[in-house]
Amino acid sequence: MKQKGLNRMKTTVRASILGTATENLRQTAVRLKLPDGLFRKLVDPQERVEMTVNPILSNGKMIHVRTFLVRHNDAIGPSKGGIRMTGQVTLDDVTGLAMEMTWKCSLIGVPFGGGKAGIQCDPATLNEADKETIIRSFTRGARRHIGPEIYIPAPDMGTNQLDMGHIRDCISYSEGISITKGCFVTGKPVIVGGIVGRTEATGKGVVYSIKAAYDRQVKRLDGARVAVQGMGNVGGIAALEIARLGARIVAAEDISGAIANPAGLDVKALLSHLKKAGSMKGFKGGKPLPVERFFETDCDILIPAAAGSQITAENAGKIRATLIAEGANAPTTPEGDEILNRRGVFVVPDILCNAGGVFVSYLEYTQETQREQMTLQEVDRRLEERMNERFTEVFDRSRAKRIPMRFAAMDIAVRKVLEATQARGLLP
Ligand code: NAD
């Protein structure tokens, strides 16, 4: 099949993470005039594994958990990507997220390929000990797929620093030693080989890219009105950081509901309420907002930092923000994206906007490999520098070619993966 075929072929499962990732790659393949063989090589993952684990929890009962691990492409380096732990995550989601990681690592310039893992279980239903049991069972089951030269996990939705510590412990003690031989997992607690600033890196990176966009538009963040979907690691940190720079968080949403305050929410107070109450309910600093109206919030900047496929053909036309910074992976469907592009909304695409996390994971990887210790100042300086550098590269291409930022980012990222593929030569 030649280019013509690619032009005709539209993906069918589009309102899904994998559908979005596939369609974004297909459009890139058309722009870059990729032959069909190369498109197929890039669209299908190198390895896609499904494993079941059956740990016994603290109530004495055995549970059945489906888990997934996908290594999408390792032309540039070993596969890198987080572990998603939710009740709904599927093998297809993990495949789409692994594909996104390939482009993200390539674009941000770290020597990794794309990977991702999934554990199909809702952590909100588990106590700490049971979550640790499941994480350890997954690690044992996936052990042969995890390693500094194979796949290096990190946190994603539903997993955190503590879980990464358990993974490292599980692997090191399976060898009977206190440390691992090299970096097997990033996003760990600092005391067991983690790096300072990793937890904040993705959220801070989101804000650096917003700042870079505002600088180009000669706008000031001071007083800007921001709506944030997702109050977890990425959304919570991004909200705190942007508020610190003088912006007002006028609306926030999480899985339990949404809340608004045109005068600005007290983000610290909201995060501590969420920690204690586990829900938006009862927070006094704002008024409840129906979740279906969240994207219509009157604001300047929208940060989707939760699940995928949130901005769709149904709501993209109602968004009032003029800048969208994609903290989440694949938050915008291709149809939603088309509408945003037509309306001239400036979108900082996920593979650029939330790449701060994987960049600092790379610093953690090198730190552990070389038994070094980096300071927070050094980590932050390198993160800001890299985010600005890659933002400029994408922005300049987007202006020069008169294409949206997402297209420019994808073109650069896919080209680099192709360059690595060609530099390696064709395997038999
Ligand atoms: P998290 O588990 O810490 O937080 C997720 C947040 O989203 C929670 O507040 C949750 O209540 C909310 N949420 C979940 N589903 C929702 C829905 N349907 N509607 C509204 N809110 C919902 O997860 P995180 O690590 O902050 O990840 C958030 C997003 O950012 C994901 O798409 C993830 O893939 C992406 N991401 C994370 C990192 C990282 O370093 N953690 C890096 C890059 C990208």
State pLDDT tens for residues 114-139: 999 999 999 999 999 999 999 999 99
Residues 6+ apart with CB under 8 A from 177: none
- Kindly report, residue by residue over 292-307, the tens digit of the pLDDT: 999 999 999 999 999 9
- Kindly report, residue by residue over 23-78, the tens digit of the pLDDT: 999 999 999 999 999 999 999 999 999 999 999 999 999 999 999 999 999 999 99
pLDDT at residue 6, rounded to an integer: 54
Concerning whether 416 is annotated as a catalytic residue, the answer is: no
How far is the CA of 23 from the CAs of 6, 20, 30, 38, 410, in angstroms? 10, 5, 11, 15, 12
* 269 pLDDT more than 90: yes
Distance CA 193, CA 176 (A): 17
Using alpha carbons only, give the angle 72, 74, 76 rounded to the nearest 5 degrees: 130
pLDDT at residue 428, rounded to an integer: 53
The 10 Å Cβ neighbour count of residue 14 is 17
Structure tokens at 357: 């996390």
How far is the CA of 10 from the CAs of 27, 83, 334, 335, in angstroms? 9, 29, 11, 12
* List of domains in the chain: 45-179 (3.40.50.10860), 200-353 (3.40.50.720)
What are the DSSP E strand ranges found in 346-418?
Answer: 346-348
- Kindly report, residue by residue over 300-328, the tens digit of the pLDDT: 999 999 999 999 999 999 999 999 999 99
Distance CA 244, CA 408 (A): 30
Ligand 1 mutation pick, 254, 293, 294, max ligand atoms within 8 A of CB? 254
- Kindly report, residue by residue over 347-405, the tens digit of the pLDDT: 999 999 999 999 999 999 999 999 999 999 999 999 999 999 999 999 999 999 999 99
pLDDT at residue 426, rounded to an integer: 73
pLDDT at residue 366, rounded to an integer: 98
Which of the residues 116, 188, 211, 416 is marked catalytic? 116
Q: Which residues of 213-224 are buried (b: 16+ CB within 10 A; e: fewer)?
A: bbeeeeeebeeb
The count of residues in the chain is 428
Structure tokens at 8: 């005709």
Look-up of token digits 């993952």: 45
Q: Which residues pair with 287 in a beta bridge?
A: 260
- Kindly report, residue by residue over 204-236, the tens digit of the pLDDT: 999 999 999 999 999 999 999 999 999 999 999
* 94 pLDDT more than 90: yes
Q: How close is the Cα of 24 to the center of ligand 1, in Å? A: 21
pLDDT at residue 427, rounded to an integer: 63
Listing DSSP states for 274-340 in one string gives: HHHHSSSTT-TTSEEE-GGGGGG---SEEEE-S-SS-B-TTTGGG---SEEE--SSS-B-HHHHHHH
Residue nearest to atom 34 of ligand 1 (CA): 329
Task: Note whether 351 and 416 are within 8 A (CB).
Answer: no
Q: How close is the Cα of 118 to the center of ligand 1, in Å? A: 14
- Kindly report, residue by residue over 138-178, the tens digit of the pLDDT: 999 999 999 999 999 999 999 999 999 999 999 999 999 99
